[in-house]
Copies of this chain bind each other. A is one copy, B any other.
Amino acid sequence: MGDPLPPDLFHPACPGVGLPVQIGDKWTGMVLRCLASGPRRFTELRSALRGVTPKVLTETLRAMRRDGLLTRTEYPENPPRVEYALTPLGRSLLDLLDAARRWSDAHLPEVLAARRAYTGDG
């Protein structure tokens, strides 16, 4: 109750979830899941992440590459082929995503019930 507040709220790792990389943005988590089963081409990702525009997918992949989460391999063929694959670092995030998914599966009903019950009073 009267305990001191945590002194490390502004740990350099990152405010909020405490992750130095974005997995809470709109597409990064889904890209990680898509690549969990093996390398994928740009178009494969694009169709799996239905609704993503090429611009945004490019931005997402670039940021992930910058952070060492995935690699981009260009094959000098015709037509051109480019493959994206998770690095070990990227793969290590899958555990975290799974934990999030498990929480979600376990508690979504509670959240929805809370939303229905919420009135704004009090």
Contacts and interface: CB of A to CB of B under 8 A. Distances in A.
Interface string A1-32: 11111100111111111111101111111100
Contacts of A3: 37-38
A92 interface: yes
Given A107-B92, A111-B20, A122-B74, A29 B15 contact: yes
A26 to B, nearest CB: 6
Contacts of A21: 111
Copies of this protein in the assembly total 2
Contacts of A48: 5-6, 9
23 contacts: A2-B38, A5-B40, A5-B44, A6-B36, A9-B49, A11-B104, A13-B101, A15-B30, A16-B27, A17-B24, A18-B97, A18-B101, A19-B104, A20-B104, A20-B107, A20-B111, A24-B24, A65-B118, A66-B114, A66-B118, A67-B111, A89-B111, A95-B99
